[in-house]
Structure 1
Amino acid sequence: MYRSEVDKLTDIVIGEAVLALLKEDAPVSGATLISRLNAMLKQEEDEGRQQALRRALSEVRQQLPAARRQDLSRLQVDNSNPAIMNDDGPPAGAKKH
């Protein structure tokens, strides 16, 4: 259950960002998710969605260790190897399967 509408909208914008990456056949990782959320934030005009996007960015950076370390200014996607492996995993203590 959501504590507020912002919580609900935050989950929605994260889902929208992931779906956009999947539709583009782009790798889904913390770094690409942050990049997509930033792009969405730059284009968004609605205050509520802007707040949700900022919160989503914060959550992704907090929960995904590789996303915190990734230098997004140097992010380059190599489409020659679609099976990109990284250490974006669930937070410590979370189920993996």
Structure 2
Amino acid sequence: MVWHDEHRRNGTRTRQPRQLTPPPAQPGTSLPGALRTLHQRAGCPTPHSLAVATGNLLSADDVRKILHGDLHGTWEQVIALIRAMDGEPFQIAGATSSRS
């Protein structure tokens, strides 16, 4: 799952025995982090190409802001962005559990 990978990438694992379930999502940071990981897995497409891939539901500037956590798009926009990066919304289900 992308959420697991983001936590590993940020060094949140400890030297304690491996947990079977991920640590709880941190509000405000886990969704952008999971999206950034998905962005990297997609080959780091440009914000402009992602905006086009969403059918211009998002602007390139909005894509950039969402990936950096500076903008919380609507769920429709986030789903479009995930799919533009060849992802599926269930891939970041752990990260979205903290969204209000």
Scaled by the length of structure 1, what TM-score is found? 0.29
Q: For CA contacts below 8 A with separation 6 or more, give which structure has more relative contact order.
A: 2
Q: Which has the higher helix share?
A: 1
Scaled by the length of structure 2, what TM-score is found? 0.28
